[in-house]
Chain A
């Protein structure tokens, strides 16, 4: 479970062009559910995802992660929640690597290297043996019917295949939470449906999924457990779909 309490993120503070991307958000994201952040572009969805995903630190407020303590090496025994807002980058990063998998709007795959290498990339700095995570990466490619593309460069892949490579990469370190930022923005309806089907499967495997989107295929999907509506950096409405 992720608990946000009075989270604010502002940029250029103290300067005339100060701008508050996330404004005093308090929110709970439940485990093993699909939560959608819904709102127009510029409403602070992406910034909020970055904060939850330990990519950036809030200017003020606190974020607690519960039930992931086992994955955090330095944590004291018996504590099941981690307060991540004041952690130094290297610790945030440890949590991020082991807890979160990211899927980006532009897929953000590295050009010039193969599909397999792209999928393995998040595992490089973990210190795991290459041969170990290579096996895992091949299994993921198999699962997403990408095996025959494993040795190809990503430039040669179609949009739907790129999408699946990006999902495979998000899963390589076996995270418990998947974060997706506008995942269907560059997909046609059929591929978007397919994406939602994959998300449903991930939920079935016990993963939590957090999606920022303003695509009706996403937020009208019957798989969704919870919708959080955002506008101008604030949560305007949060409702359960069940």
Chain B
């Protein structure tokens, strides 16, 4: 037991010395490896952070939303539905919601406009997300000019700006009192965009939803859980698609690694020949190559993960932001909350180190089985 540990230590020491000796060759391999780990790690971290951000926001969403469908498209819901749904057993409260989109011709951005009956929000004022504030260069107390449906100007005083903690969804939001909302869009009085339904016992959600659906054949109840699932699979899908695209990069790296392993330089072959001639056995050389792979893999892996962490959480992932966030032009400046778990690291390990290791098995074995007597034939 002790001897085998000593053997590992001795061979590991020689491995490290050899790696340093062939710095040039190993650095190029390391750089390629690092790049692959870095790109994949950035992608995984970024998608996970987006998923988490969305999950946080959805936590505050109502348990159930009831929409109305008209000719297969979403339509406004009559407000009277709210009172009737409130009568269904198990329903705690029904709240009509008013919201819509506003296209800002000044900078080509879309804002989400919501009516809020919060008494803290006085008439002709608005609470805005940080994205809006930045795009229009606004601070609290400024006036936000909007153009109503008939080109009449609507001026709102900025009452507050949301903190940046929930930036992903709230950045483009403008909250205003219902009266101003009506004025802006000429919204029909007895209708709402959708209904938020809360239920006393979450277990009864599906039953209540089924009742609503049968009572109003034109309605579409959607559960928060379903939205969460949908978001999660959309993010997963996007991440997966990007990963598929990156697979070509991964593949070419593996071919590169294979090539590096197979194409031993004459000097390296000679060195292994010498080692074998002076008493190193095939499994000793395999061990040498194994440690070599471990050292290179771990260095590239750890460095790549650290760099990706900085890239995603400090620099907000400039390489992927456009491809993966892609909702609105308002998002370039939001900071993700740093979070990395062991699971992501493990997945990353499987996507990079394992294929690399597998690709080097045969080249390593080839190198290790050089005949010892070749050293006598130079």
Binding site for B on A (CB under 8 A): 46-47, 49-50, 55-56, 89-90, 93, 96-97, 102, 104-106, 108-113, 117, 121-130, 169, 173, 181
Contact = CB atoms under 8 A, between A and B. Distances in A.
A156 B279 CA distance: 25
Contact of A90 (B11, B21, B275, B283): B283
Given A124-B11, A125-B11, A127-B7, A110 B274 contact: yes
Interface residues of B, number: 34
A50 B6 contact: no
B372 A56 contact: yes
Contact of B10 (A50, A56, A124): A124
Given A46-B377, A55-B376, A127 B6 contact: yes
Contacts of A129: 6
B373 A93 contact: no
B277 A104 contact: yes
B271 to A, nearest CB: 6
Given A121-B275, A126-B7, A108 B375 contact: yes
B4 interface: yes
B376 A125 contact: no
B7 A105 contact: no
A118 to B, nearest CB: 9
Given A104-B375, A123-B10, A125-B284, 14 more contacts: A47-B373, A55-B277, A56-B371, A90-B281, A113-B17, A124-B7, A124-B14, A127-B2, A127-B6, A128-B6, A130-B9, A130-B10, A130-B13, A173-B279
Given A55-B372, A117-B17, A124-B10, A102 B278 contact: yes
B151 interface: no
Interface core residue of B9, B275, B278, B378 (most chain A CB under 10 Å):
B278
Given A121-B278, A124-B10, A106 B371 contact: no
A56 B371 CA distance: 8
B350 interface: no
B3 interface: yes
Contacts of B216: none
B101 interface: no
Nearest to B22: A112
Contact of A125 (B267, B277, B280): B280
A130 B279 contact: no
B21 A112 contact: yes
A50 B376 contact: yes
A89 B280 CA distance: 11
Q: Which 5 A-B pairs have the closest CB atoms?
A: A127-B3, A50-B373, A125-B284, A97-B279, A127-B7
Interface in B1-50: 2-7, 9-11, 13-14, 17, 21
Contacts of B287: 125
B349 to A, nearest CB: 29
Given A46-B376, A56-B373, A127-B6, A93 B17 contact: no
Main DSSP-derived SS at the B contact region: helix
A124 B375 contact: no
Interface of B: 2-7, 9-11, 13-14, 17, 21, 267, 271, 273-275, 277-284, 287, 371-373, 375-378
Contacts of B378: 105-106, 108
B9 A125 contact: no
B7 A125 contact: yes
A105 to B, nearest CB: 7
A50 to B, nearest CB: 4
Nearest to A128: B6
Given A113-B17, A124-B10, A104 B283 contact: no
Contacts of B282: 89-90
- Output the residue of B6, B13, B287 with the most chain A CB within 10 A: B6
A102 B277 contact: yes
Nearest to B17: A113
A109 B297 CA distance: 29
B284 to A, nearest CB: 4
A81 B76 CA distance: 98
A159 B281 CA distance: 29
Nearest to A91: B281
A67 to B, nearest CB: 20
Given A55-B373, A106-B378, A124-B11, A89 B6 contact: no
A126 B281 CA distance: 10
Nearest to A175: B279
Contacts of A110: 271, 274-275
Nearest to B274: A108
A111 B21 CA distance: 9
Q: Which of B3, B10, B287, B375 has most A Cβ within 10 Å?
A: B10
Contacts of B281: 89-90, 93, 125
A93 B7 CA distance: 15
B278 to A, nearest CB: 4
Nearest to B20: A112
Contacts of A105: 376, 378
Contacts of B21: 112-113
26 contacts: A46-B377, A49-B376, A50-B376, A55-B371, A56-B372, A56-B373, A90-B283, A93-B281, A104-B277, A108-B277, A110-B274, A110-B275, A113-B21, A122-B278, A124-B280, A125-B10, A125-B287, A127-B2, A127-B3, A127-B4, A127-B5, A127-B10, A128-B3, A130-B9, A130-B10, A173-B279
